[in-house]
């Protein structure tokens, strides 16, 4: 299994509160509740969850951890995280990702990139800081200095989503489910590092109560 990046979500929101414009953006889009729920993780449980996860469809997976059955769907993740529902989407929707990148730089800012993405420091404030938290909590990429195409899709949602019809907004719970399924498949193949530790902990706690 590959390693080298810290893909665990933060256990507090101290850094977010150092940036009031970032708090305002996430609050306006009803994302702060998810960040506030993150209160730790369990590496062993995250590993057991990922190794036993079975995708049934693109919107449904199941796993058993220490005898506890856990169902994973966008609606379950929505209930746990309070993140909004909307339009299904995937990391692989590269056309939409490229368009999102262009829209973010409407002010004529030049983005400094590398072969994989755009340097986060080249984004205008507060979007450079917003992207940091997207990487930490949503994509769990682990490489915080680079913003990828799918990160721009998330940034576009936060910048322009308030003016979009609700049925055309992104389903962040769907994205999280797809990311978790993809991660688990690769972990089972011994090709990937664990991620979404905090989300997995929340899902197990929810399963214990339902």
pLDDT in tens, the chain (210 residues): 444 567 899 999 999 999 999 999 999 888 999 999 998 899 999 999 999 999 999 899 999 999 999 999 999 999 999 988 765 555 555 455 455 555 565 455 555 555 567 888 888 899 999 999 999 999 888 778 888 877 888 888 888 765 555 555 678 899 899 999 999 999 999 987 899 999 999 999 999 997
Partnered with residue 57 across adjacent β-strands are: 60
Write out the H or E segment, with its range, that includes residue 63.
strand 60-65
User: What is residue 1's predicted lDDT score, i.e. its pLDDT?
Assistant: 42
How far from chain centre, in Å, is Cα 17?
Answer: 19
Across the chain, the runs of DSSP E, i.e. the strands, are: 54-57, 60-65, 68-72, 118-119, 146-147
Q: Residues 6 or more apart from 209 whose CB is under 8 A from it? A: none
Which helix (H) or strand (E) segment holds residue 80: the answer is helix 74-81
SS3 category, 83: coil
Q: Where are the domains of the chain?
A: 14-209
- Could you give the CA distance from residue 73 to residue 178 in angstroms, rounded to a whole number? 10
Token pair listed for 80: 């746990």
Distance in angstroms (rounded) separating the CA atoms of residues 12 and 48: 24
Structure confidence at residue 100 (pLDDT): 55
pTM of the full structure: 0.83
- The token duo for 185 is 């498949």
Local structure of 53: helix, strand or coil: coil
Q: What CA–CA distance (Å, rounded) separates 114 from 52?
A: 36
Cβ proximity of 72 and 61 under 8 Å: yes
Q: Which two tokens stand for residue 208?
A: 């214990």
Residues 6+ apart with CB under 8 A from 151: 117, 131, 134, 135, 139, 141
How many other β-carbons are positioned within 10 Å of the β-carbon of residue 4? 8
Backbone φ and ψ for 62, nearest 5 degrees, come out as -135, 150
Of the candidates 175, 204, 195, the one whose C-alpha atom is nearest the C-alpha of residue 31 is 175
């Amino acid at each position: 299994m590959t390693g080298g990046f810290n893909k665990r979500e933060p256990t507090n929101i101290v850094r977010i509160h150092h940036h009031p414009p970032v708090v305002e953006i996430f609050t306006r889009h009803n994302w702060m509740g998810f960040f506030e729920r993150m209160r730790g993780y369990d590496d062993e449980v995250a590993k057991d969850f990922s190794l036993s996860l079975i995708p049934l469809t693109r919107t449904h997976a199941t796993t058993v951890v220490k005898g506890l059955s856990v169902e994973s769907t966008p609606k379950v993740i929505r209930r746990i995280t309070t993140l909004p529902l909307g339009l299904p989407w995937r990391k692989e929707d590269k056309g939409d990702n490229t368009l999102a990148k262009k829209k973010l730089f409407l002010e004529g800012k030049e983005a400094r990139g590398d072969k994989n993405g755009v340097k986060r420091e080249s984004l205008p404030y507060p979007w450079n800081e917003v992207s940091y938290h997207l990487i930490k909590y949503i994509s769990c990429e682990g490489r915080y200095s680079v913003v990828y195409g799918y990160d721009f899709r998330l940034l576009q949602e936060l910048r322009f989503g308030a003016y979009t019809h609700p049925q055309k907004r992104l389903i962040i719970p769907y994205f999280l489910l797809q990311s978790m399924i993809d991660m688990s498949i690769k972990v089972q193949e011994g090709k990937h590092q664990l991620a979404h530790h905090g989300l997995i902990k929340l899902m197990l706690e929810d399963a214990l109560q339902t």
